[in-house]
Each structure stands twice: as C-alpha cells, then as structure tokens.
Amino acid sequence: MSAPSHGCVPSLIITIDGPAGTGKSTVAHQLARRLDIDSLDSGSMYRAASLVAIERGIDPADGEGLAEALGRVELRFDWETRPPTLRMDGRDISQRIREMDVSGIVSDVAKCPPVRAVLVGAQRQIGAEHPRLVSEGRDQGSIVFPDATVRFYLDADPRVRALRRVRQLSESGLEVDVAEVTEDIRRRDRIDSTRSDGPLICPEGAIIIDTSKLEIDEVVERMVQAVQDRIQEEAD
C-alpha cells in the first residue's frame, strides 16, 4: 500500500535501508534528483542528536536527557538546497556532524529508545509534509515508512564500505585512517543490527541490491527502473 495522496500530486515515498558505506546517501540524492522529488538523510538527524550530546555535555547513553535536550533545539532542513542542509538553531551543521567525534558516539545515541521516538516522529512529519520523498537510513522501510511505494535494501562488503567512507571523508577535507574507519564500520554494524529498538534489518518486500561491484550510476539506474515498474504496476 502506498502513502496517501496529497491534493492532485500522487505521493511517492521511496525508502533505502542498509548498513553504513553502501552508498545510501549518494544514491538517495541522485535518485531524488532523477525523479525530481525531495530526499531525507535520516542518519544526519541521529548525528545532530550526537552533536547535542557533545556540545551540552550529555552522556550519549542518557536517552531521556538527550530526548529532552532535542526538544529544546530547533532542528530543521533547508529544502531549498539539494541535498537539503541540516540546521540546528539556524547553524549549518552538515559538515560538523561528519567528524569522527560525532561518528564515534552516534550508534550509542541511536540505540536510545527516547531519542528514536523523537526522531522517528520527526521523520514521519517530514514524510507528511514532503509526500514525494526518497528517505534513507537503517529503519526507513522497516519502521518509519512501512507503507512506502518502493523499499530498497542496499548491502556491500564491509571492506568496500570502509574504503568508500574514507574517500567520502577525504573529499570533504577530513583525513582519516582506513583501519580506524573499518573498525568503526564493523562496530556500528554490530550495534545497529543488535539493538532492540529499530534494529537494522532488511524490510519485508524490499528490493535487495548488493552495491560492492556496482558504480553509483548503475545502482541508481536499477532503482529508477524498479520505481517506474512499480508506478506502472499501480496504474494497471
């Protein structure tokens, strides 16, 4: 079942779940561009929550305290830019949330049920306001938008994922060690797939794509085709 239509524009929610380094963010932005719809990087919201913990000296395991602090900051996306820029109390935090101190605690923060409750609610609100949306993250198809029109699950070899993450960080000017990033990815996989609330799983009915040996363009092309097929099936 698809999400409800808004006015005369049919809704189109596409979710992309999968572990870190499978190319989810890049693919989500390119897919959104191809389909001329919005894109949501839900991981950036967990990263913002981690930044709140760092800047306000809150223990990353203190879910209640963090959820309360999150209620006191204004977390907004600027939808005028592509991809949308994340702002906290008006400050552009899109680069800051990629730094290693944030990456180092984000899985612990994302484990906290009170934080997940706040952010899942915020993501569903975004879906209601932007009903034509590509939304990527660990639980977008399984928990946040289980009725999405198309659900994808991206996977890839952990070593390939680490190398991609290193390249991505160095392109944004951050030099990091491959071994450190590989270890960080394995540790986060472990935490993300074993947590009790919203664990990383392959959503029911998802289209699985292993991106280890595929170029981004090839992944996007397969996804565009799958979305077009689904839209056609729904129209028939």
Q: How far is the CB of 106 from ligand DC (least distance, A)?
A: 4
Cβ-based nearer residue to ligand DC, 20 or 88: 20
Q: Could you tell me which residues come within 8 angstroms of residue 94 by beta carbon, excluding any fewer than 6 positions away?
A: 44, 85, 86
> What is d(CA 73, CA 162) in angstroms, rounded to the nearest whole number?
32
Distance of closest approach, residue 188 Cβ to ligand DC, in angstroms: 4
Nearer to ligand DC, 19 or 131 (CB): 19
With respect to ligand DC, which residue has the nearer C-beta, 97 or 227?
97
What is the distance between the alpha carbons of residues 15 and 138, in angstroms, rounded to a whole number? 10
Q: Minimum Å distance from CB 58 to ligand DC?
A: 17
Considering the complex, what minimum distance in angstroms separates the CB of residue 236 from ligand DC?
32
User: Closest CB to ligand DC among 110 and 133?
Assistant: 110
Rounded to a whole number of angstroms, the minimum distance from the CB of residue 42 to ligand DC is: 4
Q: Which residues contact 160 (CB under 8 A, 6 or more apart)?
A: 21, 212
Minimum distance from CB of 71 to ligand DC (Å)? 19
Q: Which is nearer to ligand DC, 132 or 188 (CB)?
A: 188
Distance CA 148, CA 111 (A): 24
Nearer to ligand DC, 46 or 153 (CB): 46
Please report how close the Cβ of residue 234 comes to ligand DC at its closest, in angstroms. 26
When the beta carbons of 115 and 207 are compared against ligand DC, the nearer one is 115
Q: Which residues bind ligand DC (CB under 6 A)?
A: 20, 42-43, 46-47, 106-107, 110, 137-140, 188, 192
